[in-house]
Structure 1
């Protein structure tokens, strides 16, 4: 079950990336919509990962 979910997620990510490239090359309007959603989702994920890293590193104490 977990494998099927991961494969489905991978298919969605690859399809989103294909739409980003296709929209950049002047594809149909629906590819621009999917590309916009893909880019915004990636930016949201990147922002969430940055804030998680900042919270995780703030209490490290610097004992390298």
Structure 2
């Protein structure tokens, strides 16, 4: 069951990336809509993650 869910997520991510590339080249309206949604989700994830990623970078630098 977990493999099925992860496979579905992977298909959505790859499809979103393909739509972003295709929209940059001027695709149909639905491709531009999917690309916009993909970029919005990526921005939300980037904004929500700085605390976790900065703390992991700090711990990596301290380990050296």
TM-score with structure 1 setting the length: 0.79
Q: What do the CA deviations read for 1:10-58 (whole angstroms, capped 9, x no partner)?
A: 000000000000000000011110000000101111111113345778x
User: Structure 2: any 5+ residue segments left out of the alignment?
Assistant: none
- Which residue does the alignment assign to 1:38? 38
Answer with 1 or 2: which has the greater Rg: 1
Higher helix share: 2
Question: Would you identify which runs of 4 or more consecutive aligned residues in structure 1 move more than 6 Å?
Answer: none
- TM-score by length of structure 2 reads 0.79
Mapping of residues 8-27 of structure 1, within 5 Å: 8-27=8-27
